[in-house]
A and B are shown apart, each in its own frame.
Chain A
Amino acid sequence: MLRYIALRGLLALLVAFTVSLAAFLLLNVAADPAQAIAGEDATPDVIEAIRARYGLDRPLSVRYFDWLGGVLTGDFGESYYWHKPVAELVTDRADETITLALSALAVTIVIAIPLGAMAALNPNSWIDRFALGVAVSAQAVPNFWLGLIMIILFGVMVPIFPVSGDDSWKHFVLPAFVLGASSVPAVMRLTRTGLIEVMGADYVRTARSKGFRGWPLLRRHAMRNALLPVISVLAVQLGQKFGGSVITESIFAINGLGRLALESILGADIPTVQMLIFVFAIVFVVMNLIADILNAALDPRIRIG
Chain B
Amino acid sequence: MKVQRWRSLCAASAIALATSFAPAHAGPEDDTLRAAMAEEILNLDYNYTTKREYIILAQLTDATLFNLDPETQEVNPSIATAYKWQDDMTLDVTLRDDVKFHDGSTLTPEDVAYTYNWIANPESESNATGVVERWLDNAEVTGPNTVRFHLKSVYPLVLRDMANRIMIRKAGTYDPDGKINRDAMSSDLVGTGPYRVVNFEPGTELVLERFGDYFGEAPEIGNIVVRNIPDVGTQQAELMSGGIDWMFKVPLDLAESLGATPMATHLSGPDLRVGFLVLDAGGYTDPDGPLTNVLVRRAINHALNTPEMAEYLIGGSAEAIHTACHPAQFGCDQEAVAYPYDPEKAKELLAEAGYPDGFPLELWAYRDKAASEAIASDLAKAGIDVTLRYVKLESLNQARAARDIPAYFGTWGSGGTADTAAIARIHFSGESDRDMSGDKDLAELVLSAEQTADQEKRKEIYSEAIGKIADQAYWAPLFSYSANYLVSPQLDFPLDPDGLPRLQNSAWK
Contacts and interface: CB of A to CB of B under 8 A. Distances in A.
Interface of A: 30-32, 35, 39-41, 43-44, 46-47, 81-83, 148, 151-152, 155-156, 158-166, 170, 250-253, 255, 259, 262-263
30 contacts: A31-B394, A39-B50, A40-B413, A41-B414, A43-B432, A46-B130, A81-B42, A82-B42, A83-B183, A148-B233, A148-B237, A152-B237, A156-B241, A159-B18, A160-B18, A160-B21, A160-B22, A161-B23, A163-B237, A164-B238, A164-B243, A250-B231, A251-B233, A252-B234, A253-B231, A253-B234, A255-B203, A255-B204, A262-B230, A263-B40
Contacts of A262: 230
Interface of B: 17-18, 21-23, 40, 42-43, 50-51, 130, 183, 201-205, 227-231, 233-235, 237-238, 240-243, 392-394, 397-398, 401, 411-415, 426, 432-433
Contacts of B205: 165
A178 to B, nearest CB: 12
A46 B50 CA distance: 12
B100 to A, nearest CB: 30
A47 B401 CA distance: 12
Residue among B227, B234, B235, B414 with most chain A CB within 10 A:
B234
Contact of B394 (A35, A83, A164): A35
Contacts of A250: 230-231
Contact of B241 (A43, A155, A263): A155
A253 B226 CA distance: 13
A165 B227 contact: yes
Given A44-B401, A170-B23, 6 more contacts: A43-B432, A148-B233, A148-B234, A151-B234, A152-B237, A253-B229
Dominant secondary structure of chain A at its interface with chain B = loop
- Minimum-distance CB pairs A-B, first 5: A32-B394, A162-B23, A160-B21, A253-B229, A151-B237
A82 B203 CA distance: 10
Contacts of B50: 39
Contacts of B240: 156
A156 B18 CA distance: 12
B233 A151 contact: yes
A35 B397 contact: yes
B432 to A, nearest CB: 6
Contacts of A40: 393, 411, 413
Given A35-B394, A253-B229, A255-B204, A41 B238 contact: no
Contacts of A82: 42, 202
Contacts of A35: 393-394, 397
B453 to A, nearest CB: 24
Nearest to B20: A160
Nearest to B231: A251
Given A152-B237, A156-B241, A255-B204, A164 B227 contact: yes
B377 to A, nearest CB: 25
Contacts of A148: 233-234, 237
A259 B234 CA distance: 14
Given A43-B426, A82-B42, A165 B22 contact: no
Given A35-B393, A83-B183, A151-B233, A41 B412 contact: yes
Contact of A253 (B42, B230, B432): B230
Contacts of B243: 155, 162-164
Contacts of A253: 227-231, 234
B387 to A, nearest CB: 23
B256 to A, nearest CB: 19
Given A39-B51, A148-B233, A163 B238 contact: yes
A255 B229 CA distance: 10
Nearest to A41: B413
A165 B201 CA distance: 12
